[in-house]
Structure 1
C-alpha cells in the first residue's frame, strides 16, 4: 500500500512524464512489513539440492547435511506438554568468507522449513522492523514463526547489536529456532573466523545456544568487491525508461533527499511494481546518514533483481574514502558490489532495447 501511485502523468506540454520514486510515499502497515520477511526473489529457487558443494572443501557438504537435519527437526510437531521438558530450539550460525554460498544455504533452510513458518530478513530489516513496530510487537509477531533467519548479521553498530541480541534472546526463550550468517568481506583476515568470535562475544547471553558451522571455500562468483560499471548518458536513460513498462526515472540527489522522508522499513514497498530504476546525475554521497539509507535501498533493489540505469559518475566515488575505511565499510562495499551488478543488468536492458530480463 502506498499513498501515491508512481504512474506516469501528462505534463504541461502534453508529453508523458516518466514514473518517479520520489513521488511515492509508502504507507506499508505492520502486516505488510511482516509479509515482506521472506527469502528474496534473487534466491527464490535456492534449495539444498541446488547448492553446489565444492568437494575440495568438505565443510560445505557438512553444512548442507547439518542444515537438512535442522530443517527435518523443525518440520516435526513441537514437543512439550505439561510434564515434558521441551528441547531448546536449534540456533545455528554460518561462518565463512565472501561468496561461499551462505545466503543460498540460509534461504534453502527457510524453504525447507516452509516460508509460511519462517521469517527471513537481513540484520538491517529486523532493526528497521523494531523501529517501525516497537520491540514487544516485533517479538510477538516473530514468536509466531518456527524459524527466524538473519542474513548478514552486522557488528558495526553497538546499539543495533545489543538490540538484536535482546531480540534473539526473547525469541529463543519462546522456542523459536534461529539461523544467522555474517557479511565477511573477501579480504577479511581468516575469511570469517574472527567474525564468528565477534558474533558469539556480542550476543553474550545467547552465545552458548548457537552452533557455529564453518563454510570454507572460494568466492563462487569470482568477482571483485566493486564492479565499476560504466555509467550511461542521461539521454539513453530517459529513452530506456520511456520504452520500458514499470520503469522509473529520478535525479539522484532528489532521490537521496526523498529517502530521508521514508522509513527504511518501507523502501521495499516503494519499489512495488518497479521493473527498472533510472538515475541521472549520480554523484558522491558525503553525509553518512544519507549513505546508509542508500545502502538499504540498494539492498532492496538487489533482493528484487531490479536493474539500475546509472548516469552521472555512476559508482565512481559514490562513497567517500573515509566511509570506505570506517566502521560501516562492509555495508558500503556490499552496496557497491550489488549496485555494480544491477548497473550491468541495466546496461543489458539498454542494449536490449528496453526488454527487462526476468
Structure 2
C-alpha cells in the first residue's frame, strides 16, 4: 500500500525512512566574509585542472590556440605584476591585461580558466605563490556588496590574476559595479581572465535597458582580448537523449537509499530559492551527495528560471547528481524562453542538467 510521505512525497518508502531524508528547503545558509574569501578557488570539478590535462580536439584548432593564448596571458600577467624597474630600485606599477575566452557550452573554457589559476598560483614569488582569485560573476558582485566597493579593491588589488567564470551582465547595477571594479583593479596591475558564451561587445543583447548595457560594455570591452574556443558540447558526446523520468515513488526510494542526499518538491524548492541571494546556493548544497526532486515541470516565470540556472551551475561545479520525476530535464525551459535574451543561459543549464542526470 502506498503511503503519503511528508512534504507531499508519494512513495512506498516507509514514512520514518522519508522523514530521515534531508531537504534543501530546510536549509538557510549564511555566508560570512571570511567564507567568501575562502571560496575564491576553482570548484571541486576543476580543482585539479591544468594545461597539461586539457585535451584540445584535433578538429577544432581554436582549442589548441586557446591554450597558447592562456599560457601567454600567464606570462604577461606575471610580468605586469612585477612592474617596471625604475631608478633607486623602485618599480613602476604596470596595468594588468585581460583575456576573454568566448565559446559555446562544454568546450573546456572553465578548465582553461582553472588552469590559469593553477599556473599563476603555483609560480613562485619569493618562496610563495602569486595571489589568484577564482569566482563566478555572481560571487564577484556579492564580494563587492559584502565588503563595499573600496574595500573590495583593496582586498583584490595586490592579486596577480582574478579569474571570472561565466561573465554575465544581468542588470545595469551589476554592469556599472563590475565595470568600475575591473577598471580599478587593472590600473593596479591586476590581470583579468574571464569566460563567457558571448563576446564582450555582445553582452546584454536581447535584454532590458540595452542602452545602459552598451554604454558600460563599451568601457569593459577595451580591457579584454577575446579568444574564441570552438567545438561541440563535450557533455553531449555519446550521451543519449534525456531519458524518461522516474516516478515520484522511485525518486523517493532512491533518495532514501542514498546517504547524504536531499529530497524536495520542485515547486517548493523554487520558492525556497527566492528567499536567498543566489550566491548562497553553493552553501545551500554543501555536503550534499545527490539532489532528488519530484514534480519537475516547465517554468514560465523568468525569475524562477534564472534562479534555477544559478542552482544548476553550482550543482554542476560541485558534481552533484540530479534525479527528478515529472517533466524531462531538457523541457524545463520553455521554447519562448529559449528564444529570448537569456537563451544561452538556459541552454547551458539544460546541458548541465542532462550531464548531472546521466550521473544520477
The TM-score, its normalising length taken from structure 1, stands at: 0.80
Matched with 2:292 is 278
Q: Identify if the C-alpha distance between structure 1 residues 88 and 226 changes in structure 2 by more than 3 Å, giving closer, same or farther.
A: farther
Kept in 2, the 8 Å contact 1:226–1:337? The answer is no
1:312 aligns with 2:316: no
Q: Identify if the C-alpha distance between structure 1 residues 207 and 119 changes in structure 2 by more than 3 Å, giving closer, same or farther.
A: same
Matched with 2:83 is 79
Aligned-residue offset at 1:131: 4.1
Matched with 2:6 is none
Q: Distance in 2 between matches of 1:336 and 1:262?
A: 23
1:267 aligns with 2:281: yes
Q: Distance in 1 between matches of 2:278 and 2:58?
A: 40
Q: How does 1:47-58 map to 2 (within 5 A)?
A: 47-58=50-61
Q: Distance in 2 between matches of 1:67 and 1:13?
A: 54
Q: Distance in 2 between matches of 1:27 and 1:55?
A: 45
Gaps of 5+ in 2: 1-13, 123-128, 204-212
Q: Give the secondary structure class of the aligned counterpart of 1:293.
A: helix
Kept in 2, the 8 Å contact 1:47–1:111? The answer is yes
Q: Distance in 2 between matches of 1:330 and 1:29?
A: 31
1:198 aligns with 2:202: yes
Matched with 1:4 is none
Q: Identify if the C-alpha distance between structure 1 residues 177 and 284 changes in structure 2 by more than 3 Å, giving closer, same or farther.
A: same
Q: Residue 314 of structure 2: which of 288, 296, 300 is its match?
A: 300
Aligned-residue offset at 1:221: 4.5
1:45 aligns with 2:52: no
Aligned-residue offset at 1:264: 1.1
Q: Identify if the C-alpha distance between structure 1 residues 89 and 284 changes in structure 2 by more than 3 Å, giving closer, same or farther.
A: same
Matched residues, number? 325
Q: Residue 250 of structure 1: which of 253, 264, 280 is its match?
A: 264
Q: Residue 344 of structure 2: which of 327, 330, 336 is its match?
A: 330
Q: Calculate the aligned-residue CA RMSD, in Å.
A: 2.9
Q: Residue 114 of structure 1: which of 109, 121, 125 is its match?
A: 121
Aligned-residue offset at 1:152: 1.9
Aligned-residue offset at 1:294: 1.2
Aligned-residue offset at 1:172: 1.0
Matched with 1:125 is 139
Gaps of 5+ in 1: 1-11, 185-194, 347-358
Matched with 1:355 is none
Q: Give the secondary structure class of the aligned counterpart of 2:337.
A: helix
Deviates more, 1:81-90 or 1:45-54: 81-90
Q: Distance in 2 between matches of 1:14 and 1:84?
A: 68
Q: How does 1:134-149 map to 2 (within 5 A)?
A: 134-149=148-163
Q: Give the secondary structure class of the aligned counterpart of 2:180.
A: helix
